[in-house]
Structure 1
Amino acid sequence: MSTNVHVISQTGFGTGTNELYDRIRPSYPAESLSHIRQISKSTAPLNILAVRIGAGTGIFTRALLAHPEWATSIGTLRAVEPSDGMRDFWTKTVKDDRATIVNGTFDNTGVEDGWADLIVIAQAFHWCLDHGKAFAEFSRILNKDGAVVLIWNIEDRKAAGWVAQLCDRREVHEKATPQLRLDGLRQAFSTPEYTSLFHPLEEKEWAYNALATEQIVTDRVLSWSYISVLPPDEKAKLTEDVKVIIERGDGKAWIDKEEGTYQYPYRALVVVSRKK
């Protein structure tokens, strides 16, 4: 992997971690994908040229390609991902002739000047090490009407006590890894490169509920990069504590108590930056 990729991202999302990540991470609400579709100024016949940076295992790419408003809109989708393991998994799970994936980073995509209508970065931009260089690269590969879209699924710790407790327990192990909730990303939008090349950002959020069970919640905790690198004894203790939090269930909203299913509250955040 490239040296301009965060070390925890390299190890925590390395080969062997990707099946769990892909299986257990939530997809994205349909409303957020519809919103992103309206951002592009491409007109009929639609032929959106999209770049997916930090493409991961393909969760967002598959959701985009399957969405009814996107299925006939994408001409070419070029995914960029620095993790060998994630690229391999993406290749196995994304089956669409319009989509390809290559090695690359936020500031070195390998895409031609002015090629893209849209850049979409899902669940990844908080790992960017140099925001100025990244936005200079984004501006280079976007066409004159292009835009960058950042999207995250965020656990809604304000919606239920058990979610807040779960996050607090997991975050003990963060060790200063980049996290969206720490709001350091706001600095990205005040860099000279951003302010000179892009319009002020636009934001929109959607609240939604994913399906939860004890196994889903536990596996989702274990899928975090900084958790996957923990020693076995620390993982075991974390798993025990997660079980206690789930069983206590403060604020739990049941879907089917007999089946053990309940709501996992999330927020989908979309941030849009339009090229000047």
Structure 2
Amino acid sequence: METTVHPIAQSGFGTGTTELYDRVRPSYLTESLSYIRQIPKTTAPLHVVDSSLQLAFRIGAGTGIFTRALLTHPEWATSIGALRAVEPSDDMRDFWMKSVKDDCAAITKGTFDNTGVEDGWADIVIIAEAFHWCLDHGKALAEFARILNKDGAVVMIWNLEDREAAGWVAQLYDRRKVHQKSTPQFHFNLLRRAFSNTPEYTSVFHSHEENKWAYRALATDQIVTERALSWSYISVLPPDEKAKVVEDIKVILERGDGKVWINKEEGTYQYPHTSLVVVSRKK
């Protein structure tokens, strides 16, 4: 099994990061989960492969944020026959096992191009907040095609910060971006080119479909700050640089350009996101 991971992913999502990641990362919009539920054609109990964490060359179920969202969603809770989560990180798998309590769900170690799932087992493969870390689209797509049944589909979902919705969100992104360097990030045009130009995709999958929804997650200054600290390339910074990031975020949030308050007295406001879903149906 391939064990190489991007070094920032390995350290940024490693030991000591799981509790913060799970606590401050947003869950998933009900509407987007309902949309995904309508994709599989089968009326039998669904076989689902779940992958959620950002790791290079990986499928990853992370701490279980997406798994828990599926298992508690009314349209999914009664229709999943078996859910197989795949995650390469020992720490993330340990957290997942503690946080996911459902007899139909299990987690194993695996990668984007080596899931360990049997041929044709899955009705649907769902990759949440992850595929931008995949550095070999061809191998991953060939693996997805192998484990999907003849009517199966790959679904990718991201919660993307909406930098056009509020000035403070754009400023927050610009402040973090200083530290991104070569860390793989979501660039949808690159993903579209992979769908158009990768033989493993065009020979097996129909043209991809895109759908998106506005998602206004709840925020406080603490949530926004800690979420920034949970980003892989921020979590690996030396303490003095990390403290400077926190200081600069405080200034951005105090200025609050474009903040839309939910309850000003309680310090809650909207955190604008776009929920993006990309669907690739097997031919």
- Aligned residue for 2:96, secondary structure, equals helix
**Residue 145 of structure 2 aligns with which residue?**
139
**Residue 14 of structure 1 aligns with which residue?**
14
**Residue 236 of structure 1 aligns with which residue?**
243
- Aligned residue for 1:5, secondary structure, equals coil
Measured in 2, the distance between the counterparts of 1:246 and 1:232 equals: 21
**Residue 46 of structure 2 aligns with which residue?**
48
- Aligned residue identity for 1:202: E
**Residue 4 of structure 2 aligns with which residue?**
4
Structure 1 contact 209–266 (Cα < 8 Å) conserved? yes
Measured in 2, the distance between the counterparts of 1:83 and 1:70 equals: 26
- Aligned residue for 1:173, secondary structure, equals coil
Alignment of 1:165-244 (within 5 A): 165-181=171-187, 183-189=189-195, 190-244=197-251
Measured in 1, the distance between the counterparts of 2:263 and 2:2 equals: 46
Measured in 2, the distance between the counterparts of 1:138 and 1:182 equals: 20
Alignment of 1:1-276 (within 5 A): 2-43=2-43, 46-53=44-51, 54-181=60-187, 183-189=189-195, 190-276=197-283
User: Unmatched 5+ residue regions in structure 2?
Assistant: 52-59
CA drift at 1:255? 1.1
Measured in 2, the distance between the counterparts of 1:15 and 1:4 equals: 17
Measured in 1, the distance between the counterparts of 2:189 and 2:4 equals: 21
User: Unmatched 5+ residue regions in structure 1?
Assistant: none
Structure 2 contact 132–187 (Cα < 8 Å) conserved? no
CA drift at 1:2? 4.8
Measured in 1, the distance between the counterparts of 2:246 and 2:86 equals: 33
CA drift at 1:261? 1.0
- Aligned residue for 1:267, secondary structure, equals strand
Structure 2 contact 2–114 (Cα < 8 Å) conserved? no
Measured in 1, the distance between the counterparts of 2:128 and 2:236 equals: 22
Consecutive aligned runs of 4 or more in structure 1 exceeding 3 Å deviation: 1-4
State the number of aligned residues.
274
- Aligned residue identity for 1:68: P
Residue identity (%): 76
- Aligned residue identity for 2:247: E
TM norm structure 2 = 0.95
- Aligned residue identity for 1:48: L
Measured in 1, the distance between the counterparts of 2:135 and 2:71 equals: 29
Measured in 2, the distance between the counterparts of 1:130 and 1:68 equals: 35
Deviates more, 1:146-155 or 1:253-262: 253-262
Q: In angstroms, what is the RMSD of aligned CA positions?
A: 1.1
CA drift at 1:133? 0.2
CA drift at 1:32? 0.3
CA drift at 1:181? 3.5
